[in-house]
Amino acid sequence: MGKAIIGEKLGMSQVFTEDEVVPVTVLKAGPCVVTQVKNEKKDGYRALQLGYGEMKPERVNLPMKGHLKKSNSTPRVLVEVPLEPGEEYSPGKKVTVAIFEEGDRADVTGISKGKGFAGVVKRWGFSGGPASHGSRFHRAPGAIGQCATPSRVFKGRKMPGRMGGERVTALNLLVVRVDRDKNLLMVKGSVPGPHGSIVIVRESVKGKAGKGRR
Amino acid sequence: MKEIETFERSQIRDEIPQFAPGDTVKVTVEVSEAMGTGEKRTVRKRTQVFQGLVIRRHGSGARETFTVRKMSFGVGVERTFPVHSPTIKEITVVSEGDVRRAKLYYIRDKVGKAARVKKKKLS
């Protein structure tokens, strides 16, 4: 398994390093349980299904109970992560924050905060018009196309609409602290989503550990 | 949230002396200077002393900061430090002032004698 773990965004704080103050997001990550190992023969591809959190046993419905029988767990969230060749896992195995070390680079995926029906200035960064001097043009999108040719609006035109509440990944975040006793992970910078939301922390696809400034 | 609070509390340094806006303090800070790049890059550490009037304390817990103002060659210089930063080697209170507000921004507009703060009378 490439390093991956499911967690929860707790909030932001700061960490003093030797000579600077680092803004961090505190994540409570794991312990996760391997609930299913997908293999080539049966599923067509190799993957690992991880579970996080606790559900009251009486709340688990029967199909789920059957699925979770092998791992003997009742997790609240299930997430699938790819499994690298040559790795063997069995259901019931635990995954903890110990897979990450300080100085690693990680990608954090979450569901961004919902912004509702947002205008074009907030959603797409349009400049808008002057606020005063009687311009009568403030936050409207302006022209959205041409005239008789093509006499339609092209697809993909940036317009107002629902913003946020989608899957977003913050790439290449530095792992500043790992607290194995409390299952805490602190990554530099911000992470998508509100406090208490579920996030997936994975090994960074861009920067490999050891590279970069620290 | 509880975890964040405990973590922040663990970063608080309790050997920091008590001081308030109006006090004159001497702050000893460690600054690291990087020389050169790549292979030749060396980091040298030295300490700096900044003495002046505390004009504000801001924030709480481990995130608290304070701002010190001093006159340097006729120019007002303000520096903001995190109270609990490990780069701060020492804070010594030179004198305590008697002031009636928490933020002494008015001092910026005062020159000469008017830019002073009353000394606290020992009672």
Q: Are A171 and A108 in contact (CB under 8 A)?
A: no
Q: Does residue B3 belong to the interface with chain A, where contact is any CB pair within 8 Å?
A: yes
pLDDT digits 0-9 by tens, B71-97: 889 889 999 999 998 888 889 999 888
Task: Give the pLDDT confidence score for residue A68 in this predicted structure.
Answer: 84
Burial class (CB in 10 A: 0-12, 13-18, 19+), B17: exposed
Q: Does residue A21 belong to the interface with chain B, where contact is any CB pair within 8 Å?
A: yes
Distance from C-alpha of A15 to C-alpha of A26, rounded to nearest angstrom: 10
Task: Give the pLDDT confidence score for residue A207 in this predicted structure.
Answer: 62
pLDDT digits 0-9 by tens, B10-56: 888 888 888 999 999 999 988 887 777 777 777 788 888 999 999 99
Could you tell me which chain B residue has the CA closest to the CA of A10? B1
* Higher-confidence position of B69 and A212: B69
- Tell me the Cα Rg of chain B: 17
Average pLDDT value for residue range B47-74: 91
Distance from C-alpha of A99 to C-alpha of A76, rounded to nearest angstrom: 21
Smallest CA–CA separation between B121 and chain A, in Å? 37
Q: Does residue B57 belong to the interface with chain A, where contact is any CB pair within 8 Å?
A: no
Q: Does residue A18 belong to the interface with chain B, where contact is any CB pair within 8 Å?
A: yes
Task: Give the pLDDT confidence score for residue A214 in this predicted structure.
Answer: 44
CA distances (Å), B5 to each of A30, A185, A187, B57, B85, in order?
A: 20, 15, 17, 20, 17
Average pLDDT value for residue range A188-213: 80
Does position A4 have pLDDT exceeding 90, yes or no? no
Nearest to A10 among B1, B31, B62 (CB): B1
Distance from C-alpha of A85 to C-alpha of A43, rounded to nearest angstrom: 15
Mean pLDDT lowest for which of A93-102, A166-175, A179-188? A93-102
ipTM value, please give it: 0.74
* Sheet arrangement for strand A94-95: A77-82, A47-52, A32-38, A94-95
Mean pLDDT lowest for which of A33-47, A98-112, A139-153? A33-47
Nearest to A184 among B1, B3, B31 (CB): B3
CA distances (Å), A175 to each of A106, A179, A181, A210, B113, in order?
A: 7, 11, 16, 11, 51
Distance from C-alpha of B72 to C-alpha of A34, rounded to nearest angstrom: 63
Nearest to B82 among A13, A18, A21 (CB): A21
Task: Give the pLDDT confidence score for residue A150 in this predicted structure.
Answer: 92
* A28–B3 CB contact, under 8 Å: yes
| Structural domain boundaries in chain B | 2-110
Neighbours of A55 (CB within 10 A): 15
Q: Does residue B82 belong to the interface with chain A, where contact is any CB pair within 8 Å?
A: yes
Could you tell me which chain B residue has the CA closest to the CA of A12? B4
* B8–A13 CB contact, under 8 Å: yes
Q: Which residues of B touch A10 (CB under 8 A)?
A: 1, 3-4
Q: Does residue A206 belong to the interface with chain B, where contact is any CB pair within 8 Å?
A: no
Smallest CA–CA separation between B86 and chain A, in Å? 7
Q: Which residues of A touch B7 (CB under 8 A)?
A: 13, 26, 179, 184
CA B23 to chain centre: 11
The architecture (CATH level 2) of B2-110 comes to: Roll (2.30)
Could you tell me which chain B residue has the CA closest to the CA of A182? B3
Task: Give the pLDDT confidence score for residue A211 in this predicted structure.
Answer: 47
Amino acid at A159: M
pTM of the complete model: 0.80
Could you tell me which chain A residue has the CA closest to the CA of B29? A19
Q: Which residues of B touch A27 (CB under 8 A)?
A: none
Q: Does residue A152 belong to the interface with chain B, where contact is any CB pair within 8 Å?
A: no
* Higher-confidence position of B33 and A197: A197
* Higher-confidence position of A69 and A125: A125
